[in-house]
Structure 1
Amino acid sequence: MARKNLLQGLMDQAKTEPPAPEEPQQRAPRYAKGAIGAVSQSIADLKSRSVVELDPNTIIEGGLSDRVEHDEAEHATLMESIRTYGQQVPVLVRPDPQDSERYRIVYGRRRVLALRDLGLPVKAMIRDLDDREAILAQGQENSARRDLSFIEKANFARQMVEAGYDRKIIADALTTDKTLISRLLQVAESVPVEIIEHIGAAPSVGRDRWLSFATRWTEQEIQPDQGIEMLDVYACDKSDDRFDALFAWLEKREKQLKGGKPVPLADSPPAPAAEKRALTRPDGKRLGQITRKGDKLRIDLTGKSAQGFDTWLEDNIERLHRDWLANRDEDGRS
């Protein structure tokens, strides 16, 4: 009864007291006033931070492309990781304004593709973001992960310019200063998009080499089809090697042009760069590294982490090779 009388008193007081005047442009949202408003705000905050499961087929592309190639090996590795350990980090999506049943990806494209191929739901955070907010979130998430190569950042910056964003917004999105933005755009504006896409991410190639590449490309007035033809001649599997091959050709072509010599389309491809792969133990700790360059393979094991495996391998490697030869002969392979 006491609670009822208290509520009645509050209602009577609300009827008799005149409403307080509202200050222009400072009125708080309705949910922000009083105890009920506080609860409503808390619920809204919780919903904005909550993670939901979505059908990957309801998530479509959105925003700008921050990758210049789809790496099947990385895709397979990511799928295997998610298959084994599950999706550890949620993606960010926003409602599609044109279809209430769909969402547009802000960041986490590779995770969505992997989960789609695995037939698993996507753990996602849903935010109501406009185009500018979505691009800022995408760029800042990429910068925090630090896994975009220089040319991928350059390509991302180019797309933002074409979409009409000023350099301050681009700098905020990539969490960098205007000086680096100028360098990124200098490369993106000098090197045709077709060449960037054919080379790929080139993760080990930094700013200085890309700037040198862009300068030579512009000075020699190379056409995109010439560069693509060169890449087809070299036929390198890795993006770093494709960059190296094309860069070496530009350097040689520059010397030949200065010397007044004819410039052939291509010579023999340069030696491929060494391929390195980390070896890990079942507990995730580093075991060593495998390095392959051409037809040579080197295995480096850390004695402390190997825990005697290095000695065992040294003693048994010839026997392992004999067993491999025997099994290969039994299978009928030469």
Structure 2
Amino acid sequence: MPDVRLPKLNNNDVHYVLVEWAVPDGGLVRAGDPVAVVETSKATEEIVAEHTGVLRHMAREGSECAVGAPIGVVSADGEAPAPEPEAAPAQGREEVLITEPAERLAAELGIPRERLLALGRKVIRRTDVTALAAATDDVGHVDLPRGQPAIARAVAASHADVPAAFVAVRVVVDDAVRRARDAGRAARQLIGLPELTVRALGRLRTPFPVFFGTRLADGTVTARPGAHVGVTVDVGNGLVVPVVRDADRLDLTGIAQRLLAVRLAAMRDGVQERDLAGANIMLALANEPGVVLSRPIVFPGQVCAVALPGTLSEAVPGSEPGSVAFRTVVDIGLAYDHRVVNGRDAVLFLQALKAQLESDDA
């Protein structure tokens, strides 16, 4: 079975960091599909599959991998996938990756490393330590995740100030996913539904200016210039909402580069205050497998928040009588300030977003 190996991307490095898998373990890949993102000393690069089949991971996210080393294996159609090999730990690193915030909290709570390793996870985050502590009788005090107090303040302020309503629409995304994959391959960027949705929101700023405005104390709304989309990012260090500024002017590659940069910064606790300022609409990502609907909060100062949950496989009548076909859908939600937006306009906004994502140039 063919390996997925790390190519030599520049002459200075002998190791790269595996930042993110673009395809889950056991997922189907096609030759030419991006399967992983690695970080060199100079840039981030996508690694593409050279063969079609089922991908099995051989290295974990966050691990340091030698140039030329296999990080995955692709089994051919009809061939039983090989057992997942043991990933050789990088020099000076353990097989299980324990994040620094998780190590600090475990030390504060007196939880030994052996109990963390017994969780059986490849990556152990602060939230895993919190859950372990909560389930342990002899630990009487558990700190909340570091970002939770700030989240609590934002939620309390939202519920106190914004009388929010909610509506959702189902979007068929088979073509959008294909277009995103093709665009990502052409631009050598990781492009998916989040990037497409940010661009689609940018295009809606002109026909729906109120949705990008701010409600003033006198009840009027000021339409703020530009589509500045805050996108939720949580890589285990707490939720942050960095801003993709001027999404109405950026192409897919620019949006993808911006989102990748802030994801990497969030992994290193390196998100700056300037990265978080100026959003006039929010895209809340809840696109983990199994999440079918999400209702975000509306931050004070904004009019609405769009939720992008996970995709679903929906059965529909097939082309032949009595046959069944399947399509990929996602239920995109809109939470909105009912003082500013009425239900009809909220539905029109979502229908326009749906049309953008389902159109040929989404």
Q: Where on the TM-score scale, by shorter chain, does this alignment land: which range? A: under 0.3
Higher helix share: 1
Larger Rg: 1
- The TM-score, its normalising length taken from structure 1, stands at 0.23
Point out which structure has higher relative CO (alpha carbons under 8 A, 6+ apart): 2
- The TM-score, its normalising length taken from structure 2, stands at 0.22
Higher strand share: 2
